[in-house]
Amino acid sequence: MSRKKKRNRVAHAIRRSLISLISLGIVAFLINIAPNYEKTGLEDKTNLIINNNNITKSLKSDIIIEDKVIYLSFDDVKNFFDEYLMLDGSRIITTSNTKTALIPLEGNKIYENGSYTNINYKILQKDGQYYLPMNKFNLIYNYEIKYNENKNIVTIDSLNRKAVTAIASKNLSVKYKPTTLSKTLEKVKRGDTLYVVQNFEKGIDEKEGDWLKVRTTSGIIGYVKESKLINKKAIRENLQKEKINGKVSMVWDYYNQYTAAPQRTGTIKGANVVCPSFFELKSDGSLAVNVGTSGQNYIKWAKDNNLEIWPVLSNSMLNNLGAVSKILSTFETRANLIDNIINELVKIDVDGIHVDFENMYKEDKDNYSRFIIELAPRLREIGITLSVLLTAPDGSDTWSLCYDRNLIGKVADYVVFMGYDEHTGSSKTAGTVAGADWVELNIKKFLGQEGISKDKIILAMPFYTRLWQETDGTLTNKVVNMNQIEIPSDAKKAWNNTLKQNYMEYTRNGSTFKMWIEDEQSISAKIDLVEQYELAGAGFWEKDREKETIWDIVYDKLK
């Protein structure tokens, strides 16, 4: 073989090698730099898109479509629509943002927000699982549901959430990945509407570079160049009830059922919420209402002074754990109480309600939670704020362990931590009503072990203390309002930096008197905890026990 032929063969071999290397490089580029399409394993399933997210992989059971009705399993409805969905014998109890409903497993009469409605539906039972007809429940959960038979995709869009659309300015290809080389999932024509996928946590569009994540009207989710879209606009905003701007500063205005509401004049500097004692629970689930002319005057005064009104609903007058237990025990008895609450709130036109149920059986914890779960949507429907009083964790069965704080913290607009009494009237040792160290410890429990969001916690503090008397080994005490505290000239008084309180002690006729004082300094220190832990605000028990100078401190610190 001639040298020339050998050189040609070598050159050809080098070219072939170069071509192979270039081909491998292109393949590597396509695989690593410009990803095309991955099989999801969902191509043969009915896909479910909820609020522009394909959650098909997360479904516990396949979607059933029968006679054009779309069914989801009980567990999937609980997972994606109502975490408090409950099977109650032969019926299902469900709640949504503004609805509380009782749905029989058989029959066509549904209870919804205080009234019964006939509905043409059936609940399926298959392999021991219940399946709910989702296109019959759209009014309960307030969503729009569509089924694209050609693509085999179900889309569900919450009508409570923001929705943004845009128009294709030219014929476009919707890509699997945000790159031109990626697989085309669907072609859309000029003028077609696309839904812009939102990051709801951040409140912004989902995008990568200049590629915008969108959903087509058929339910396909992918990417298009944002520059190829026009007329981007919000067609629906988030439906969220407005909360108080800034910190809550609430004050209880207590009066019993045998007296009239106080007649106030002027404003309360530093307060933005008042809680009058309008409602008491009765043994039949009805309410003892103490509003009358004085209450109407009180409401007018509060509104004239830009104060929100959250009347108290208390079980203190009933003083019967068994009666409370009975009222909470069934959906019907809870619904009767809730109907009564709604009717009274609508009559008097107020802004909120403060539920103060204390001293209940530990065994009623779940039923009390159900009461709050079923009450909250009814209140949201009429724009009423729900706050719920909770005692410190880790106490006695009937005082502390009767609350599911974590659940109530999720459902209610606010929870009020009753930051007193650290030492009660029945305590065997003398001590403070609300030491800052004890209050802070329990704030940490609310945030930590109870898992309650800081922006829901209102710290309640006392406008009173106790005067303790020790005589020959016997301990007694009495409540002393802040504005009635007297400090004898011979009393020993010192600041306790752990409790953030002044302590005084003196003797009279063989008796030793002790008091941990609530004053401007102690209240100021507790309000500092509200700021330190970024809580929702503060509450004060109760009006007319305080010194007037307190309100200057509240005003300055809570802004």
pLDDT for the residue numbered 518? 98
CATH number, position 224:
2.30.30.40
Q: Look up residue 392 and give its DSSP letter.
A: -
* 191 plus 279 within the same structural domain: no
Q: Look up residue 401 and give its DSSP letter.
A: T
pLDDT for the residue numbered 43? 77
Tens digit of pLDDT per residue, the chain (559 long)? 555 555 556 556 566 666 666 655 555 555 444 455 566 666 789 999 999 999 999 999 999 999 999 999 999 999 999 999 999 999 999 999 999 999 999 988 899 999 988 878 889 999 999 999 998 888 899 999 999 999 999 999 999 989 999 999 999 999 999 999 899 999 999 999 999 999 877 778 999 999 999 999 999 999 999 999 999 999 888 877 778 889 999 999 999 888 999 999 999 999 999 999 999 999 999 999 999 999 999 999 999 999 999 999 999 988 899 999 999 999 999 999 999 999 999 999 999 999 999 999 999 999 999 999 999 999 999 999 999 999 999 889 999 999 999 999 999 999 999 999 999 999 999 999 999 999 999 999 999 999 999 999 999 999 999 999 999 999 999 999 999 999 999 999 999 999 999 999 999 999 999 999 999 999 999 999 999 999 999 999 999 999 999 999 999 999 8
Residue 332 located in a structural domain: yes
Residue 275 located in a structural domain: yes
* 96 plus 211 within the same structural domain: no
Question: Domain range for residue 137?
Answer: 47-146
- Contact status, residue 206 vs residue 198, Cβ threshold 8 Å: yes
End-of-domain residue from the set 169, 202, 236:
236
* 254 plus 131 within the same structural domain: no
- Contact status, residue 93 vs residue 82, Cβ threshold 8 Å: no
Residue 242 located in a structural domain: no
Phi, psi for residue 317 in degrees, rounded to 5: -70, -35
Residue 189 located in a structural domain: yes
* 256 plus 200 within the same structural domain: no
End-of-domain residue from the set 208, 236, 264:
236
Q: How many domains does the chain have?
A: 3
* 337 plus 438 within the same structural domain: yes
* 278 plus 372 within the same structural domain: yes
Residue 2 located in a structural domain: no
Of 272, 274, 210, 269, nearest in space to 244 by CA = 272
pLDDT for the residue numbered 119? 79
pLDDT for the residue numbered 41? 63
* 141 plus 167 within the same structural domain: no
> Which residue is listed with tokens 């989801």?
72
CATH number, position 550:
3.20.20.80
* 305 plus 381 within the same structural domain: yes
Residue 33 located in a structural domain: no
Of 513, 486, 516, nearest in space to 499 by CA = 516
Sign of the alpha-carbon dihedral angle for 348, 354, 355, 358: negative
Enter the pTM of the model. Answer: 0.90
Residue type, 7: R
DSSP per position, 73-137: EHHHHHHHT-TT-EEETTEEEEE-SS-EEEEESSSSEEEETTEEEE-----EEETTEEEEEGGGS
Residue 41 located in a structural domain: no
DSSP per position, 133-171: EGGGSHHHHTEEEEEETTTTEEEEEETTS-EEEEEESS-
> Which distant-in-sequence residues (6+ apart) come within 8 Å of 341 by Cβ?
279, 287, 313, 353, 375, 378
Phi, psi for residue 452 in degrees, rounded to 5: -95, 135
CATH number, position 87:
3.30.457.10
Residue 205 located in a structural domain: yes
* 172 plus 219 within the same structural domain: yes
pLDDT for the residue numbered 455? 97
* 326 plus 422 within the same structural domain: yes
Integer Cα distance of 450 and 85 in angstroms: 22
Integer Cα distance of 374 and 368 in angstroms: 10
Q: Is 218 exposed, middle or buried (0-12, 13-18, 19+ CB in 10 A)?
A: middle
CA angle 146, 148, 152 (to 5 degrees): 120
pLDDT for the residue numbered 29? 52
Integer Cα distance of 161 and 198 in angstroms: 10
* 232 plus 254 within the same structural domain: no
End-of-domain residue from the set 105, 123, 146:
146
* 137 plus 186 within the same structural domain: no
